[in-house]
């Protein structure tokens, strides 16, 4: 039993001494940390066995352990091996030293291979960090290159004059990229299209076309006015999503207050042609966004649409009776009769 205790002491004491020295180096020199009594013991141990890739090899606790642990065992085992012998600087003395120190010297020789292994592990971690940093940089470059490509795509488009007072200037707004592509960190690379936003815009565009086609297919009545306002609401919503300022400046807001509630309506321009021009401009703008993002443009090329839908999209506008130049004046008159005020 006593022999087992001596063996345990022989194995544990050098290791504990080495760990204590490395712990002091790690806390005071290599990884200085605030003097916090609540610091967990496990975190201290982890510090002694961990690498810090952003620091040099001499700042790594495992390197010092690679030297101190074999050295401690060398000195401890050497003490018991050399006990009872004196130093003799002769050939016979060196021969006796080698004979007595076989095991201590074998343990001491482990310093070099362990230190080499530690240095390679440290270099591997540094390489991994460099790969991550390079990947992040490439992803950031790809993200902003994608945004720049969207800007250049819009810049290559020619100005187009739409019906009414709408000038189709395909100006790129920086916020457009944020609205139609996923809100992800630039370090994640090229963003994916915001499918939900694209589908929402296509729904608004489809509803606006439906309202316009019903409006131009009916004779002037309250139903045509209702379709007009519904279409205007959808086109205005699209313009806000796609940040089309050319439509903003032709909007007129009407407000009616009744029993502490407020109702608002929007008109675009001063004729039906202004509304249809704004719709066609929004349609072209959204198609460009879909094409750039790689989203399906099937909705725009659908052949199974009504004759009035085709006229709403791109053919010459064919209006029903009572929808001439005085149409908007009649709309404004009805709004004033219902106590709507122009804002």
- Are the C-beta atoms of residues 164 and 274 closer than 8 Å to each other? yes
Same domain for 122 and 255, yes or no, is: no
Same domain for 164 and 41, yes or no, is: no
Query: Does residue 144 form part of some domain?
Result: no
| Contacts for 248 with CB less than 8 Å, ≥ 6 apart | 239
Same domain for 306 and 228, yes or no, is: yes
So what's the pLDDT on residue 247?
87
Same domain for 240 and 119, yes or no, is: no
Q: By C-alpha distance, which of 246, 249, 266 is closest to 162? A: 246
Q: What's the number of domains the chain is made of?
A: 2
Compute the residue count for the chain.
343
Tokens 């929808």: give the residue.
323
DSSP 3-state assignment of 191?
coil
- Are the C-beta atoms of residues 52 and 59 closer than 8 Å to each other? yes
Query: Does residue 151 form part of some domain?
Result: no
- Are the C-beta atoms of residues 118 and 62 closer than 8 Å to each other? yes
Could you list the residue range(s) of the whole structural domain that residue 66 is in? 2-133
pLDDT along the chain (343 residues), means of 10: 62 69 65 52 65 75 80 78 75 76 80 84 84 89 90 86 81 87 84 92 92 80 82 92 86 79 82 87 91 90 79 75 70 78 75
pTM above 0.75, yes or no: no
Q: HSE-up of 329 (CA within 13 Å, CB side)?
A: 4
Both structure tokens of 163: 């019906």
Same domain for 312 and 177, yes or no, is: yes
| Contacts for 241 with CB less than 8 Å, ≥ 6 apart | 179, 197, 200, 201, 204
Query: Does residue 147 form part of some domain?
Result: no
Same domain for 192 and 319, yes or no, is: yes
So what's the pLDDT on residue 289?
92
Same domain for 113 and 169, yes or no, is: no
């Amino acid at each position: 039993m006593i022999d087992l205790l001596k063996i345990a002491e022989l194995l544990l004491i050098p290791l504990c001494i080495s760990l204590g020295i490395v712990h002091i180096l790690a806390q005071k020199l290599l990884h200085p940390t605030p003097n916090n009594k609540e610091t967990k013991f496990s975190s201290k141990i982890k510090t002694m066995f961990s690498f810090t890739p952003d620091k040099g090899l001499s700042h790594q606790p495992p390197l010092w352990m690679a030297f101190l642990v074999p050295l401690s065992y060398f000195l401890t085992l050497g003490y018991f091996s050399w006990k009872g012998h004196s130093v003799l600087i002769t050939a016979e003395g060196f021969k006796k030293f080698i004979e007595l120190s076989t095991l201590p010297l074998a343990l001491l020789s482990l310093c070099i291979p362990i230190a080499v292994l530690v240095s390679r592990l440290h270099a591997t971690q540094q390489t991994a960090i460099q790969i991550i940093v390079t990947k992040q940089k490439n992803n950031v470059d790809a993200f902003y290159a994608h945004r720049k490509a969207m800007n250049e795509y819009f810049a290559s488009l020619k100005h187009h004059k739409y019906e009414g007072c709408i000038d189709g200037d395909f100006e790129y707004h920086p916020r457009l990229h944020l609205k139609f592509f996923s809100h992800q960190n630039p370090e994640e690379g090229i963003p994916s299209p915001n499918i939900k936003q694209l589908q929402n815009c296509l729904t608004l565009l489809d509803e606006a076309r439906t309202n316009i086609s019903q409006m131009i297919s009916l004779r002037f009545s309250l139903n045509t006015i209702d379709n007009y306002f519904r279409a205007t609401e959808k086109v205005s919503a699209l313009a806000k999503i796609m940040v089309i300022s050319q439509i903003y400046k032709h909007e007129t807001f009407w407000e009616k207050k009744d029993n502490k509630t407020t109702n608002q309506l929007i008109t675009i321009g001063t004729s039906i042609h202004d509304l249809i021009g704004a719709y066609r401009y929004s349609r072209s703008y959204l198609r460009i966004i879909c094409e750039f993002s790689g989203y399906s443009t099937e909705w725009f090329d659908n052949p199974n649409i009504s004759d009035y839908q085709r006229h709403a999209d791109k053919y010459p506008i064919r209006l029903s009776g009572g929808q001439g130049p005085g149409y908007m004046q009649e709309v404004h008159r009805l709004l004033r009769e219902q106590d709507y005020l122009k804002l």
